[in-house]
Structure 1
Amino acid sequence: MAGHEVATDALKVIEETDWSGLTHAYGAAGDTPAFLLQLLDEDPETQAEALGMLEMSVLHQGSLYDATAPAARFMAAVLPHPRTLAEHESYFPWDDRPRPLRAALIDFLAEVAESAAYDGDPDSDDDAAADSDADPDADEAYDDEADAIEACLAVRPTLFQAVVPFLDDDHPEVREAALGAVSHLLKAPELAEAVPAASRRLHSTLADTTRERRERAAAALTLGTWGQDTTAHLTDADPAVRVCAALADGAAGDPRATAVLLDALSRPAEADRWFPEPLPQFDGWFRFTLLRILLKRVESYEEAAPAALALIPLASDYTVDQDWGPLLAKAFPGGREPGSDLTPAQRDLLHALAENDACWGNIGNKYSWLRDAGLPQKREELRSLL
């Protein structure tokens, strides 16, 4: 019954919106209502295709249009509908996860919130504003985009109220999607009063050791992004949860957090396996994030040296920008002075690199890192320093 009532509310969004006057990535948004209604079709494949069309049109590569906010309002209104429980794979071949449509819809709302918060940042608009000053057509497009962003920012409280009940959904995929969306939606200043209650819910999730690792880790990460204290979880029984608690900015000054990161990086391949499906907060292997945060927090390379020596066997030409390049920068701040002696830690690092064949292919990115570190760019010349 409740699901049908919500669907009725969603239909009001369809009926009260002048879709013919709105646009999306491919022009007029007159086709958008049909796709929105197909989200509640009896056929899961039709639902998946409809969502795919909406992702390509009203949220194309994260861009916002004047059709985005009303589409998001419709999706928020239908979340409780029973047909959003239908499980299917994404319309796109690169995402073959079978999961409830409800989780995918919430992910859509999360991306709307994330894009609005980013695009609504004045510092992110400098280039577009400069272009608009030089081109009247660009000026009009810039104004349209600004209006679309403003509309999506304004709808965040509505989206939050729709999503927050699903933090306790029976489906882990839905709970994870809801957590991701809430983490973005609560960046809205007008929702600041909701942060304490949401934080209590996440602390409760963290305390519940029967919850899956992924869910507890995501809770720790979200609390960190909200500026909440996660240090109580630095001693959690699960090393993945400990690490996610240690990644919070609020834990930066705690030596225990640094120790947790160092411990995880002593077994980097194991840390990479903690989350077979990467957490949405991170790109690439998990070890890359751990190293990036560690290097920000330690004063000297020597503190990170044990982690470095564990990481180098996994390094290659293709990972230089994420691992051994930043390690060289930390080990040789300002670059090595010609003729200067190497410290034992520097020598061990260079020896490990020189012995790793995978680091010496034909990819050119390594040369700038070596040059900036004041080191030879050829393998044999590097060996001659040892």
Structure 2
Amino acid sequence: MSTGTDVLTATDWKRTFHAYGLGTDVPGHLALLLSDDPRDHASALDHLYSAVIHQGSVYSATVPAARFVAGVLDRPGLDTAAPGADAVDGGSSPSLRVRLLAFLRDAVEGGIGYLETPVPPPLDTTERDRVYTAMGSDDEDEAIDIWEDESIDSLMYHEVGVAMGEAAPELYTAVRPHLTHPDAATRRRAVEAAAAIARLGGLDLDLSGAADMAETRDEGAVIVLALGESDGDTTEFLAHTDPAIRACAALAPGQRENPAALTELLSALRDPEEADTWFEDRPSFFDRYGTVRSALLREAALRGTPEDAERMLPVFRGLTPFTSASTADADLGPMLEAAFPDGLPENLTGAQREYLRALADGVLPWKGAQVTAFAALLRRLGLPADREELRVLVGEWA
């Protein structure tokens, strides 16, 4: 299996695809990364994140693209600022190397997603050729309709998920040296990429070098989150002096049965607005939730039992004053689901009554809230999406 520039000629790009069709245009864009012109880099990155990865989805062309990127990570000149990138670390823009490590992370995590689906049978050569022929068809309807074909599920699983997994050892080998790169932002993205690759390929994840060099909260958090997602034991970090590190340790799936971890999550949520300001360069782990507080809330509610509802009530009360119709589903939904696991009961408990009272007293713009995901959640739980009806329910009004 090749990596780096050999991928450009060793890949049958006519038998790959991305979000907009066949991957025959991918090698030309990848080659722009070998240029010294920032405008070429901008064009290449734009293609990588518009076609090769599209809104989080990855495709068969993503696999050779990832192998190419892995093979050029050690090229000189990649530490220059990447065009069009948001600034981190107090104002410095991430380098091209950082952006490429982030691409590898995103590509691999997309591959993991496909392997979490039921295994479809692989396509035979005839069926595979039929799909790729349709994708390259001049008939626009045919090229579009093929995406609805059930054969696409097989291609996604086998030619994206499985193929990415087969590339994992080479990808990991390419990323590992950057775990101890002199630049902190590079180390952080390398940790995230290495962790994703290790999960995909079932590889042993060694972050000791990065841990030895960690200088900031951002670095420590990325390492602890990566350790937790890779089934590592984060227990020792629950006693860390930094509340952000303790919370990241508590988020680990391996801590879901640990009462001390739930206590730590609830402690962090005493000031949810503060939690959202913890990081200058927020770990990508939180991107799937939107905010840090949403990740903490979702995990705390997942672990909490109905008996824990009263413990979470102060958090709920603290969030209701500043939530909005668009954020209420993420801010308040997880705790309501935990407090009402079987929907609205015939007789409210004291804690359930207090949840509804806090909700009715909140600043949520109820008229606009009736068409949001939060309103759908309330209906699913059997709760009214109306302030006055809530007040009647808790007995404040006759």
TM > 0.5 fold call: yes
Paired AA for residue 225 in structure 1: E
CA–CA separation in structure 1 for the residues paired with 2:298 and 2:232: 21
Is residue 351 from structure 1 mapped to residue 362 from structure 2 by the alignment?
no
1:84 is displaced (CA, Å) by 1.4
- Name which of 175, 179, 184 aligns with 1:172: 184
1:306 is displaced (CA, Å) by 2.0
The answer on whether the counterparts of 1:113 and 1:152 sit within 8 Å (CA) in structure 2 is yes
Tell me which moved more, 261-270 or 324-333.
324-333
CA–CA separation in structure 2 for the residues paired with 1:235 and 1:147: 43
Partner of 2:136: none
- Name which of 43, 46, 50 aligns with 2:37: 43
TM-score, with structure 1 as normaliser: 0.82
Distance 1:373 1:124, change over 3 A: same
CA–CA separation in structure 2 for the residues paired with 1:123 and 1:294: 29
Within 5 Å, give how 1:1-386 maps onto structure 2: 10-19=4-13, 22-90=16-84, 98-123=93-118, 138=149, 141-149=152-160, 150-189=162-201, 191-192=202-203, 194-195=204-205, 198-201=206-209, 204-205=211-212, 211-282=215-286, 283-299=289-305, 300=307, 301-338=309-346, 340=347, 342-343=349-350, 345-364=351-370, 365=372, 366-384=374-392, 385-386=395-396
Give 5+ residue unaligned stretches, structure 1.
1-7
The answer on whether the counterparts of 1:41 and 1:83 sit within 8 Å (CA) in structure 2 is no
CA–CA separation in structure 2 for the residues paired with 1:140 and 1:200: 43
The answer on whether the counterparts of 1:230 and 1:248 sit within 8 Å (CA) in structure 2 is yes
Paired AA for residue 118 in structure 1: G
Paired AA for residue 292 in structure 2: F
1:220 is displaced (CA, Å) by 0.8
Q: Deviations over 1:67-90 (max 9, x none)?
A: 333222221111111121121233
Partner of 1:3: none
Distance 1:30 1:122, change over 3 A: closer
Alignment length (residue pairs): 360
TM-score, with structure 2 as normaliser: 0.80
Q: CA RMSD in A?
A: 3.0
Distance 1:54 1:370, change over 3 A: closer
Q: Deviations over 1:82-136 (max 9, x none)?
A: 12112123389xxx9821111111111112211222213342769x9xxx9xx98
The answer on whether the counterparts of 2:60 and 2:159 sit within 8 Å (CA) in structure 1 is yes
Distance 1:346 1:33, change over 3 A: closer
Q: Deviations over 1:156-201 (max 9, x none)?
A: 1111100011111122221111111111100244x43x23xx1544
What percent of counterpart residues are identical?
34
Aligned partner of residue 318 in structure 1, secondary structure: coil
Q: Deviations over 1:204-251 (max 9, x none)?
A: 35xx6x611111011111111111111111111111001000111222
Distance 1:145 1:357, change over 3 A: closer
Paired AA for residue 350 in structure 1: L
Paired AA for residue 272 in structure 1: D
Give 5+ residue unaligned stretches, structure 2.
132-145
1:359 is displaced (CA, Å) by 4.5
The answer on whether the counterparts of 1:48 and 1:89 sit within 8 Å (CA) in structure 2 is yes
CA–CA separation in structure 2 for the residues paired with 1:56 and 1:278: 22
Paired AA for residue 325 in structure 2: D
CA–CA separation in structure 1 for the residues paired with 2:235 and 2:39: 45
CA–CA separation in structure 1 for the residues paired with 2:328 and 2:336: 10
